[in-house]
Every structure is written in structure tokens, then in C-alpha cells.
Structure 1
Amino acid sequence: MRDDTAPQLGQHDIDRATLSERGTSLAALLAELGLDVVVPPDAPPDAPPDGWRVLTPGEPEGASMLLGTPARDDGSAWRVAQPSGATGGPAQLNVHPDILPLRPSVAERRAGLVLRWPTVTRDLLDVDALAVDIVNEGAERWMPSGDGLPAFAALVPVGSESAPYFFGFTVGSDLPVPLDPGEYRRTLARVDASSWERLHPGPHRVTAFSPFLRLTSPETLTIHLTAEVIAAHRRQPAHSVPEPQRPRELAEERLRIVRAMRVGRDAFPRLADAIRDLRDDERALSRIQDILGCAYDEAQAVYNLQLRRARVGYPDVLALEIEALEQELATPGDDEGAAPVE
């Protein structure tokens, strides 16, 4: 579910109708959903026993289901939980350790903000100096509400209607300040390093976007990329590499891995117990494969997952990356079905 007008808990868009439901006991809801779930012993003791309902339904191929119950009578804060989706036995129910405030929708939180290319960027057309302005074009002061405003740039060959794009997060950076009407904040729109592997010389359209508030520049720039510029930005392999995958294949492969990382994140307590006493990495990887029912490379991704990326509260960086990849693959385009960036 992606709805910019929906309220949010963390980074999850919530169907407004579910907020007014009466709910039921957690045990009854899990039974209704057909989930054989083990509640972790370290679940918060103050988690309400009643009022639970499905806030966000699970989606195909690993997207998380979100369950919740009001933590306050006025519905301004919620206790939430997510089934892990693990296979090979009872799933893990991960009860979020913190109470999450019900947030206004993305559309409300970004009201008045637009991304605008400044004159200096238009003049230089330098892929390493893609400054973009976050401008308050509204009539009222814009106030931050906990979202970072990192900016990224997507490069799409002129004449192509679509291409997958990727981005990396540095959580805690790019925190914005209030902006009065007409004020702006200038920041660098970064091109993700992995993007250069699929680029070829020629003219490219450049679109700026900021993922947390789902802002996209209404106007694109055109930059001519030379072979020298592309080579300078590509990672230099130590050995010869096979022919690069097509862009859609890269997006599908990354989506498969990130989904496995999210399933592994949700099963962290169980995985930690399972591998604690194993003697080497290979045994640990084999055990992760058995628990999650996943491929070897997926187990490696879970095993190497940074603890920073295990946070479920906002920003849920794995959920955001999965959402972006699913968007790119959802609409058929010129490049084997990749979706447009704008």
C-alpha cells in the first residue's frame, strides 16, 4: 500500500478506516490470520492485550504486515507488531519496543515544499555538483516533523522512458530546519554509486528526489555523460567481470536480497540464539538458510546486515528501499518493464 494522503506509523501508510475499528485480542487476531506465532519473551510487558487489528496487510513476496492497537485512548499513539514471515516452524512476532505516534500523511508533512534546480546547477551541468533547492512555496511556515530531507539524483538516458534507480541512506543526516514562505535549503543531490554500472555515454535526463517525503523535482535537467566521466565514477574491479546484468535484472536481484534482509531482521532474536554457539561462519550461514528457507546469498546478506538497518521505527530503511524497488518494477517500460522515475 502506498498512499501519500494516508496517516503513518513509522514509515507505514495506514488505512484510515482501520484506525476506527474496535479490534480484538492479539491471540484472536493471530488465529484469525492463520499465523502460528511465538511472542518473544522480551516483548514489552505493557503491550495492550486487546484492540489489535491489521493496519497494513502483508503484500506478496515478503512485504511486512503491520498489526497494531491504540496505546492512548485518543488514538494518537500505537503499539505495533510485525510477524516475521520466517519459515520452517513458528514465526516470530516482533513487538516494537517503542510506542509509535500516529503521524500526519506524507502529503501533509511536505505541504508547500518543492524541489527546484538552482541557476548554478543549470549553468554548470556537472554531475558531481547537482545542487538542488528544497523550497517552501507555501503560504505558511513549514515545520520539520522528524523526517530527514536527503536528496538524490536519478540519471535516465534521453529517449528512454524508464530505468531503475537506487539510493543509500545515512540515517541521522540531512535533518531540516523550519522554512518560512519563500525560504529554501540548498543541498547536494547525490547519484548512487551503483547507478554508474548501467550508464553509457550520451545525454541523460536528471531528476532529483527526496525519499522520506516522496518529493520529486517537477523539472529535469539534461546532462551529457562522456565515457571518461562514467569510467571515473565506476568501481574499478580487481579482476575481469562478467557482462553486466540488464537494469531490470539488477533491480529484481536487489529486491530479492533486501526482502531477505527484512525477513532476517524480523527474525533476529531467533537467529542470534541459533548461531550463538556455532564454530564458524559456514555453519552459521547454513543454519540461517535452514531457519529462513532462503538461498545462500540471501543468508550472507542477512548474516552481514548492519545493526543500524535493523530498526523498524522510522525511518525503516529496508522498507523504504523495498518500496522504491517495487515501484520501479511495477510498471512496464521500455527497459524490460522497469518503471519510470517520475
Structure 2
Amino acid sequence: MTPHDDWPRLLGIDVDPAAVAASGEALEAVLNRLGGTSDGMPVPGAPAHGWRILAEPSVRHTVLGAPADPAAARWHVVQLTAEGDRRALHTAPELAPLRPSRAQSRAGLELRWPAVVSRHTPPDEFVVDVVNTGAARWTPGDDGMLVIGSLIPTGEAPRVFGWMSSQQQRGVPLDPGEYLRVPVTHTSTDWHALEPGRHELHAHLVALGLTTPLPFVVEISASDLTRLRAARSAARPSPAERRRSLENQRLRVEAQLAVSADPVRLIEIVRLADSDDAAVAAIGASYAYDREIAEVVYRSMLSELLPANAQRSRRELAMIAQSIEQLEG
């Protein structure tokens, strides 16, 4: 379970329930106490008072918020980020709904090993079932279904492990007894440190903090390890390549988020173009994007540009920023 498993969430971040229930104060008062400044940045439609510190996910990031309605169901959210010797304020472009805690969101779910997983299944073919054991339909929020596997030599204590990814399978509604079968990802596993033999396989549904109640005992062969080590070495990018990839990913997501604020404008640009190349060129000229970013916007699915899905894009940007920070760390 996560350290704040029973805390509600905003934009995928655990927020202190005591802070949520507090009365709050003026934004400038909170910023002055933290040594930050809004630099005149407006928070559209935000109240003058009601602001409070909701979370401090890292030493460089502080999340502030103010409720947008009497029920505190939706929030104005800003993030104070340390940038060199200053602390900059970044405003979430849309109101964020207050989501249930991970404990509430996973109620009724259980991870179970299906019969297709055997003792000698290759490690990169492991799957697990997310089963609704409750009496009512389980409906997913916007949490991903990324399941991480941990292989521990038999007799050793389980280790704490973590992983972050923006590429996650989406959840689907599950009636009582129904299940969703998902692959078990081993990106965190150090195949070079692993030895052939018997291991206990643990699986963890990251977004909901759900773990298999019992490990599955598997046999890892020397041939499997040789194959997996070779694949990992060939696929592993250098830190510089990883940084460039993350920066490019950030630019793509920022472009999609910006366009989603007015999708009608994009549709009109594309409608007037007489070819794919013309449409890409027109997008680049209208939004001041280079051809690569304009191509990404043009090839985006409509669902990625819906204003209602902006929250997912903002969460992806936050994860990218944390990944870049870890590389710099």
C-alpha cells in the first residue's frame, strides 16, 4: 500500500484530507509563506481566498488548491516548483475533480493468477487478472492498469519497488465476477542481478495500490535470463537519449494540451487544407510548432484532444517532469 493509501486525490496526487477540510487563506499569503510568487500570473475564475497546501510530492514541488464549489468536488490547482533559486507557479488550465482514495477506488478488486500462468512460464509472458469480487459493478476512474512484477528469490523478504509510466492500459467496467487480464511488466527488474532458480512472483497494480495476496512460485531458467539480459541491454537508452526522449514527449503532450483548449480551431485549419502535408504545414504555422510537433497534433486521435481529457495530459506532464528530475538527480 502507498504511504497515503486512504487520502483523496487531485490530478493523481494524494492530498491531505485535513487540508481539504480546512478553510484556507489568500493565495498570496500562502505563496509568501513558502517563498514563492505568482509573478502576476492569473488563476482564471479562482477565489480570492480558500487556498491551502494540499501536498508536497517532492522537495521541489508543492501543490496548492482552492475549492471551486461549496461541496469541494472540483478544485483550482496550482503547483509551486523550485526552478533554480526561484519558485515558479504553474496553474492547471482546468478545474480538477477530487477523486476517491486508492483504497476506495480498488474496493472489490483482487489480483489473481490465471491458469495460463505456470511455474515454467517465461518471465516476459506473465499475466494477471484484475477480478471484481464485489457485489456491484466496478467502474474505473482515469487510473491506468499498469501492473508491475517483482521477482524475489524464494525465502527472501519482498523488496519495495516502484515505477512510473505514461503508457498504461485503460480500465474497463467490471460486473461482479468479471475480470480484466493484463500483462505483468518487469521494467524495474534487474535481469543481470537475478540468478536462475526458484523465485516468488509478486504483482502490483500501481495506480490503485493493489498487490497479489500471495506470490506465485516460478522457475527462472538460465536461457530465459540470457535472452532477457540481451534484450534489455540492446533496448536501454543512454541518459542523454532518455532526456531527449522525455523532452520530446513533453513537447508533444504540451502541444496536444494547448490544442485541446480550442479543438474547433484545429478542425477548421484541417478542413481548409487540401492534403495531409498542407494540413501539417498549416498547423505548424498557426501554432508556431515545428513540423514534427505539428505532425503529432495532426495524427492525434480526437479523444486525445477533448478538453475533458486534459486532466490525463496534465498528469502525464507531471510524470514526465518527475522523470526528468530523477535523471538530473
- For normalisation by structure 1, the TM-score amounts to 0.66
User: What letter matches 1:118 in structure 2?
Assistant: P
Pairing of 1:121-270 with structure 2 (within 5 A): 121-122=117-118, 124-163=120-159, 165-167=161-163, 169-171=165-167, 173-192=168-187, 195-235=190-230
SS of structure 2 residue aligned to 1:196: coil
The corresponding residue for 1:335 is none
Pairing of 1:7-46 with structure 2 (within 5 A): 7-33=8-34, 35-39=35-39, 41=41, 43-46=42-45
Give the 3 Å change call, closer, same or farther, for CA 153–76 of structure 1 in structure 2: same
User: What letter matches 1:22 in structure 2?
Assistant: S
Give the 3 Å change call, closer, same or farther, for CA 58–112 of structure 1 in structure 2: closer
User: Quick check: 2:246–2:320 contact (8 Å CA) kept in 1?
Assistant: no
TM-superposed deviation, 1:226: 2.4
CA-to-aligned-CA distance 1:315-337 (integer Å, 9 cap, x gap): 95359989xxxxxxxxxxxxxxx
Matched, 1:108 2:104: yes
CA-to-aligned-CA distance 1:265-287 (integer Å, 9 cap, x gap): xxxxxxxxxxxxxxxxxxxxxxx
CA-to-aligned-CA distance 1:118-164 (integer Å, 9 cap, x gap): 12213653323212111011111111112121222111122321445
User: What letter matches 1:75 in structure 2?
Assistant: A
Consecutive unaligned residues of structure 2, counting only runs of 5 or more, are 255-312, 325-329
The corresponding residue for 2:266 is none
Number of residues of Structure 1 aligned to a counterpart in Structure 2: 258
Give the 3 Å change call, closer, same or farther, for CA 178–319 of structure 1 in structure 2: farther
Give the 3 Å change call, closer, same or farther, for CA 319–87 of structure 1 in structure 2: closer
TM-superposed deviation, 1:99: 0.9
C-alpha distance in 2, partners of 1:231/1:100? 46
User: What letter matches 1:98 in structure 2?
Assistant: E
The corresponding residue for 2:46 is 47
Give the 3 Å change call, closer, same or farther, for CA 103–132 of structure 1 in structure 2: same
C-alpha distance in 1, partners of 2:226/2:319? 29
User: What letter matches 1:37 in structure 2?
Assistant: T
Give the 3 Å change call, closer, same or farther, for CA 163–74 of structure 1 in structure 2: closer
The corresponding residue for 2:319 is 317
Matched, 1:82 2:79: yes
Structure with the higher helix share, 1 or 2: 2
Give percent identity, aligned residues only. 32
TM-superposed deviation, 1:227: 2.4
C-alpha distance in 2, partners of 1:130/1:95? 41
Give the 3 Å change call, closer, same or farther, for CA 216–134 of structure 1 in structure 2: same
- Aligned-residue Cα RMSD (Å) equals 3.1
CA-to-aligned-CA distance 1:49-70 (integer Å, 9 cap, x gap): 32111111465x44x3211011
User: What letter matches 2:154 in structure 1?
Assistant: V
Consecutive unaligned residues of structure 1, counting only runs of 5 or more, are 239-296, 323-342
Give the 3 Å change call, closer, same or farther, for CA 97–2 of structure 1 in structure 2: farther
CA-to-aligned-CA distance 1:236-287 (integer Å, 9 cap, x gap): 658xxxxxxxxxxxxxxxxxxxxxxxxxxxxxxxxxxxxxxxxxxxxxxxxx
